[in-house]
Amino acid sequence: MNRTDWSDARPGPGMHNGTIMPTDVRCLVETDESSAVVRLTGVLGLAGVDAVRDALLARLWARPGPVIADLSRLRVAEPAARAVLDEVRRVVADWPAADLLVLDPAGAREGAGAPVRATLDEAQADLVGAPLAAVLNAELTPAVDAAREARALVADGCGRWGVPELAEPVSIAVTEMVNNVVAHARTPMTVRVAPRDSALHLAVRDYSARPPAYAGLAPLTSAGGRGLLLIDTLARRWGSTPLPDGKVVWCVLHPEDEAAYRS
């Protein structure tokens, strides 16, 4: 089990050899590689929101499929801090194969946001009731043939999932996203694609904090720098999500949009 300690504590009586002792813990995020459950323990206040968001986003990328945030042993010191869970769910809504459920014995709340279940059995039943249909991943190096490998991956997905009309636009989109990593981030990357409803969700995760830059329409005489313009044209939605050690650039493509574009 991995533990990420999001304490505001500085070295002092509660520290020993660089380890934060329980008396200093504010909010502890515990993950298990074999489980869909992420446990939040301790006390969560507004000061710890950013770190908790980072930990949840990192886990949601590392493990495709829905993740359960277990609040059974968490005390929320400031009610506004709890909104970080709904924010994380909104952020990952367009990622391939990602979703967040909340386990909270206090029960469901009114209003929109991440679904809340009162028991672990209820939360796990949701996972069983909505199994991960499909997801494809490729781990690539920032080399000249990375885009070719990524195109093969997404073409395979389009064939498997019955959306051959998206093969061309998703290949263009993934080529631009991967080439951006090769040219600018220069880090290893993960390409992930998954279907949801009738759409394809595509993402590329790299290890550079440098955000993608989109300046809108470029002159026809300009050379290069049109990658994000192509993605903006082909995809219904796209964006970039910062992670603690990099970012995820994602887009969503719909067959009906491709049909309208061709007509």
Instruction: Tell me the pLDDT band of 229, cut-offs 50, 70 and 90.
Output: confident
192 pLDDT higher than 60: yes
**Lowest-confidence pick of 13-17, 94-98, 241-245:** 13-17
Give domain 136-262's CATH superfamily: Histidine kinase-like ATPase, C-terminal domain (3.30.565.10)
The model's confidence at residue 114, banded by pLDDT at 50, 70 and 90, is: confident
At 229, the amino acid letter reads: L
What's residue 39's pLDDT? 95
Name the residue ranges covered by the structural domains of the chain.
Answer: 2-129, 136-262
Which pLDDT score is estimated for 198? 86
Q: For residue 174, what pLDDT is reported? A: 95
Cβ atoms of 181 and 189 within 8 Å: the answer is: yes
Q: 10 Å Cβ neighbour count for 34? A: 7
Task: Give the position of tokens 């391939």.
Answer: 96
In tens, the pLDDT along 173-187 reads 999 999 999 999 999
Quick one: pLDDT band at residue 108, thresholds 50, 70, 90? Answer: low
The hierarchical CATH code for the domain 2-129 is 3.30.750.24
pLDDT at 169 over 70: yes
pLDDT value at 224 more than 50: no
Measuring CA to CA, which residue among 24, 34, 35, 76 is closest to residue 52?
76
Contact status, residue 252 vs residue 235, Cβ threshold 8 Å: yes
pLDDT at 54: 95
Q: Tens digits of per-residue pLDDT, 5-24?
A: 433 333 333 333 333 333 34
Length of the chain counted residue by residue: 263
23: helix, strand or coil: helix
